[in-house]
Amino acid sequence: MFTKAIVRIPGKSLIHGLSDSKSLGLPNYDEAITQHKLYIEALKLCGLEVTVLEPCEEYPDSTFIEDVALITPHCAIITRPGAPTRRAEITKIDSVLRNEFLNVEVIEAPGTIEAGDVMMVGSHFYIGLSDRTNRSGAEQTIGILKKYGMTGSTVTLNEVLHLKTGLSYLENNKLVICGEFINDPIFKDYDFIEIPKEESYAANCIWVNERVIIPSGYPISNERISGSGFNVIEVDVSEFKKLDGGLSCLSLRY
Ligand code: CIR
């Protein structure tokens, strides 16, 4: 059960954010603001109290707030983003987290980790080793998790940006899964909700208190997730997709 979320309004600098999806064009700022408002409304509809942080123009990707912190039931961990242009984003979340959480831990160099690479399944955390998250970052995170009675393990990624680009845990052993993870033995014991390749963007969705928020425009995914017993809410996040951002990366939920 989640009760709260933190989001950051996109800045006008959003158009300068990192992107491997340049063929989709640049995001439209006004449209992004509208979509972000509706995203917040969806979180509220799921029962969350949402803290809305002001835009941060210095860091174009800072609206993708999920990557700079891992919030667990026992501590918050300030990450160390692997993307050099994103590394200083943590300076903007530090005091927010220290005001909210008793236990705040920090990942140190040479470790890098972006929390889009971390999937929580109860008290276990899967950590993707990616272009953004290295072994030191993963090991430091696992050490911190252990200190608080939780566990972690690594998953090697080859194709997607972050672990949760292709996986989303919907509780009760149900796992939304796509692409390279489908045949990974690590996940074989979960009940799969498989997302077809052509709808891969919808594999990044979020479970929030029995509801699942998914991006709009992915009918097969909607049908499969609804068909698995979830109340699905669609939110249009097309402008964030242009910067490789999924639904999960727009909030910290706890
Ligand atoms: C980046 O490349 O870092 C941003 N443009 C997108 C981050 C997406 N984050 C996520 O999926 N957790």
User: What is the per-residue pLDDT for 45?
Assistant: 98
Angle at 45 between CA 44 and CA 49, to 5 degrees: 25
**Angstrom distance (rounded) from CA 95 to CA 33:** 25
Separation of CA 60 and ligand 1 centre (Å):
11
User: What is the per-residue pLDDT for 205?
Assistant: 98
- What is the percent of the chain with per-residue pLDDT over 70, rounded to a whole number? 100
**Angstrom distance (rounded) from CA 36 to CA 236:** 9
203 ligand 1 Cβ < 6 A: no
Contact (Cβ atoms closer than 8 angstroms) between residue 65 and residue 10: no
Separation of CA 246 and ligand 1 centre (Å):
7
Q: Which atom of ligand 1 is nearest to the CA of 116?
A: 12
What pLDDT digit, counting tens, does each position of 157-194 carry? Answer: 999 999 999 999 999 999 999 999 999 999 999 999 99
199 ligand 1 Cβ < 6 A: no
Confidence label for 29 from pLDDT (cuts 50, 70 and 90): very high
Model pTM score: 0.97
Sole residue written with tokens 């498989």: 194
Structure tokens at 6: 């933190």
239 ligand 1 Cβ < 6 A: no
246 ligand 1 Cβ < 6 A: yes
Sole residue written with tokens 């140190």: 108
Contact (Cβ atoms closer than 8 angstroms) between residue 241 and residue 221: no
Polymer length of the chain: 254
Separation of CA 243 and ligand 1 centre (Å):
7
C-beta neighbour count of 161 within 10 angstroms = 24
162 ligand 1 Cβ < 6 A: yes
User: What is the per-residue pLDDT for 227?
Assistant: 98
Contact (Cβ atoms closer than 8 angstroms) between residue 34 and residue 236: no
Pick the CATH number of 4-253 from 3.90.420.10, 3.75.10.10, 3.30.565.10, 3.40.630.10: 3.75.10.10
Sole residue written with tokens 């698995």: 228
Q: Which atom of ligand 1 is nearest to the CA of 243?
A: 5
